Amino acid sequence: DRGFSIDTLEYFGIAFSDSKNRIVIPARDEKHKVVGFIGRAISPDIQPKYLYSKGFPRKNILFNLNNAKRFDSCIIVEGSLDAMKIHQAGYPNVVSSLGATITREHIATLGSHFDKIIIFSDNDSAGNAMRDEIIKHLYDKELRIINFENSGFKDPGDMNSDQISEFINNSIDYFAWSLEGAY
């Protein structure tokens, strides 16, 4: 019901666990090695919404880096499902921090692999904090901001491909955005 195509589900190796009643998303390191699994609840009454396999190196992993690293630019989002929706919209250079927390390891990885970073964080205070943390540490990169504050969307996963493309194509240069008094 989230609008994923079979091709996208196959590309990311998505499976379903009958015993846990969760969608299972494999996470890979930059060398394409599976380093853990994300279990996503399929209904709101299953808590917590996300479960990570034991020993999951969340602070070190940017979801989909193994595919995105071949590009000079990336789009960074919070969730794995957000990344999958953006990939499906035609942007394979997407990575996810797997939450709003940006670690030193994430910053180092972003800085070493990408010259241009488009920040497409969630439309909430945690997403704003994520955006600000990336700006604080990667101000020397070409940064673009996607602002969808008054759009009615919570995150990119709520959008269809045309809406995602429209927001990406209308991203704002960080310096212009900061001059407008947004930062």
- pLDDT tens digits, one per residue of 36-59: 999 999 988 899 999 999 999 999
Length, in residues, of the chain = 183
Mean pLDDT over residues 9-28, rounded? 95
pLDDT per position as a tens digit, 95-132: 999 999 999 999 999 999 999 999 999 999 999 999 99
Terminal C-alpha separation, the chain = 36
- The predicted model scores a pTM of 0.93
Structure tokens at 59: 């602070």
Q: Which helix (H) or strand (E) holds 95?
A: strand 94-96
* 19 has a pLDDT exceeding 80: yes
- What's the pLDDT at 162? 97
3-class secondary-structure state, position 141: coil
The letter for the amino acid at 99 is G
- Measured distance CA(102)–CA(97) in Å, rounded: 7
pLDDT of residue 182: 57
Q: How many Cβ atoms from other residues are within 10 Å of residue 6's Cβ?
A: 8
**In the 8-state DSSP scheme, what is residue 98?**
S
